[in-house]
Amino acid sequence: MLTGKKVVLGITGSIAAYKMAKVASMLVKQNCDVHVIMTESAAQFITPVTFETLTKNQCLTDTFERLTPVEIHHIVLGQTSDLILIAPASADVLGKMAYGIADDLLTSTVVAASCPVLIAPAMNAYMYQNPIVQENISRLKKFGYEFIAPVTGHLACDVTGIGKLAEESDLVNAVIKKLSGQKGAGNTRDLSGIQVLVTAGPTRESLDPVRFLTNHSTGKMGYAIAKRAKERGAKVTLVTGPVNLAALEGVNTVSVTTAEEMYQAVMERASNQDMIIKAAAVADYRPKQVNSEKTKKQDGTMVLELERTKDILAELGKRKGPKQCICGFSMETEHVLENSREKLAKKNADMIAANSIRESGAGFAGATNHLVLITQEKTEDIGMMSKEACADVLLDRLYEIWKQKQQGEAK
């Protein structure tokens, strides 16, 4: 999504500087041309060689270095880049920027910049809450600089409080939103009033009081979809299996455990939804018999008889209303597109979001995903990106289908 975009990462002296290696890598995977400027203090936490290896560009630290004999790089980068992301931003650099002090390469580049600048502070909680630091942040906001707020957590100084650098995926997502021109980016409320139901996470099917069958789903993709739908104005219901994720504020969350419980929760609410997005990894089979006591081990092998669970997506396809949009997910290990297109037709879905568990950076647990969005009309590979960015593109495409259905019904 960032093909042809040039981004400068400005890294300052904070222990969180090590996180920027992952940010640089994630941006490069989006075909972004990434250039890194480090302060002298930042180079004490992570070496410039790391970023040169990841970005294939020289990592800059010296104000008096030249890109060519005639080009001064703080002017060149400030004038030719599409965006500058300063992360982590220390209290020292915030103060310099607030008053136009340009005494090193990074601050000189910012002063010379004509592109948007995003700032992600990271520091000790007491430092961040200092009135002077807060006044500097307010002053920078008045000049048009945008901030990615730090989060609360356990800090390196052994203090728990606000000041922790935002997650790497959130930083990348902010860059994508700023540069990609997505209709769903930023504070757009294009889904206002639309009812959206999302399923997320795994299900668990008991063998006995101790053991159960499940899968590796963490729920991150489904939660990202629910979060972005809510932020874009939708009235969101999230039906979630057992996950280790923070509850989403403003989202009606229904917690379930088994495939049958998820089936019942979805079907009870399906008729009132405009969009249903099935991102959960629901068990296809469950034990035919659940032992009331712990199953004791014995000599030899044990045969476990399984029975099919109800197919939620297929049932939704059968009951789908003329104005309703249904999106399923298809995680495959082989023949991804062929299996997913078959699923689209068989389940009467409007869209299938396909991905391969074999691909590094896609699938379960990680902060990124690589989706291919399949409809009857086209197949769109949206590339590797953060799960929130994936969620935005998926919602964009589903919203387009939903609008067409409303217009068709009106005719």
Distance CA 393, CA 266 (A): 24
182-208 per-residue burial string, b: 16 or more CB within 10 A, e: under 16: bebbeebeebeebbbbbbbbbbbbebe
Alpha-carbon distance values, 261 to 98, 140, 275, 394 (Å): 54, 50, 20, 26
What's the length of the chain? 411
Distance CA 146, CA 163 (A): 17
Q: Residues 233, 190: contact at Cβ < 8 Å?
A: yes
The tens digit of pLDDT for each residue in 290-344 reads: 999 998 888 888 889 999 999 999 999 999 999 999 999 998 878 889 999 999 9
**DSSP conformation letters of 336-392:** HHHHHHHHHHHTT-SEEEEEETTSTT-SSSSSEEEEEEE-SS-EEEEEEEEHHHHHH
Written as one letter, the residue type at 252 is N
Q: Residues 84, 10: contact at Cβ < 8 Å?
A: yes
Q: Which pairing describes strands 205-206 and 368-374: parallel, antiparallel, or unpaired?
A: unpaired
Statement: residue 148 has pLDDT above 70: yes
Confidence of residue 210 (pLDDT cuts 50, 70, 90): very high
**DSSP conformation letters of 21-61:** HHHHHHHHHTT-EEEEEE-TTGGGTS-HHHHHHHHSSPPB-
Confidence of residue 181 (pLDDT cuts 50, 70, 90): low
Confidence of residue 160 (pLDDT cuts 50, 70, 90): confident
* Arithmetic mean of pLDDT, 370-376: 93
pLDDT score recorded for residue 188: 65
Statement: residue 173 has pLDDT above 90: no
Among candidate residues 212, 215, 306, 205, the one with its CA nearest the CA of residue 258: 205
pLDDT score recorded for residue 22: 93
Q: Which pairing describes strands 275-278 and 195-200: parallel, antiparallel, or unpaired?
A: parallel
pLDDT score recorded for residue 74: 65
Distance CA 368, CA 387 (A): 5
**Percent of the chain residues past pLDDT 70, beyond the cut:** 93
Dihedral, CA atoms, 74, 80, 82, 85, nearest 10 degrees?
A: -10
Confidence of residue 187 (pLDDT cuts 50, 70, 90): very low
Confidence of residue 190 (pLDDT cuts 50, 70, 90): confident
Which residues are identified as catalytic?
Answer: 157
Predicted structure pTM score: 0.64
Average pLDDT, the chain: 89
DSSP state at residue 63: T
CATH 3.40.50.1950 boundaries in the chain: 6-180
DSSP H stretches of helix in 181-258: 220-231
Which CATH architecture is the domain 6-180 placed in?
A: 3-Layer(aba) Sandwich (3.40)
Statement: residue 409 has pLDDT above 60: no
11-23 per-residue burial string, b: 16 or more CB within 10 A, e: under 16: bbbbbbbebbbbb
Question: Comparing 59 with 177, which gets the higher pLDDT?
Answer: 59
Statement: residue 151 has pLDDT above 80: yes
Confidence of residue 170 (pLDDT cuts 50, 70, 90): confident
* Arithmetic mean of pLDDT, 219-232: 93
The tens digit of pLDDT for each residue in 99-145 reads: 999 999 999 999 999 899 999 999 999 899 999 999 999 999 999 99
pLDDT score recorded for residue 65: 61
pLDDT score recorded for residue 68: 52
Confidence of residue 72 (pLDDT cuts 50, 70, 90): low
pLDDT score recorded for residue 186: 40
CATH 3.40.50.10300 boundaries in the chain: 195-285+307-410
Q: Residues 220, 235: contact at Cβ < 8 Å?
A: no
Among candidate residues 256, 246, 315, the one with its CA nearest the CA of residue 280: 256
Distance CA 157, CA 267 (A): 49
Statement: residue 411 has pLDDT above 60: no
pLDDT score recorded for residue 185: 40
The tens digit of pLDDT for each residue in 242-287 reads: 999 999 999 999 999 999 999 999 999 999 999 999 999 999 999 9
In CATH, which superfamily holds the domain spanning 195-285+307-410?
CoaB-like (3.40.50.10300)
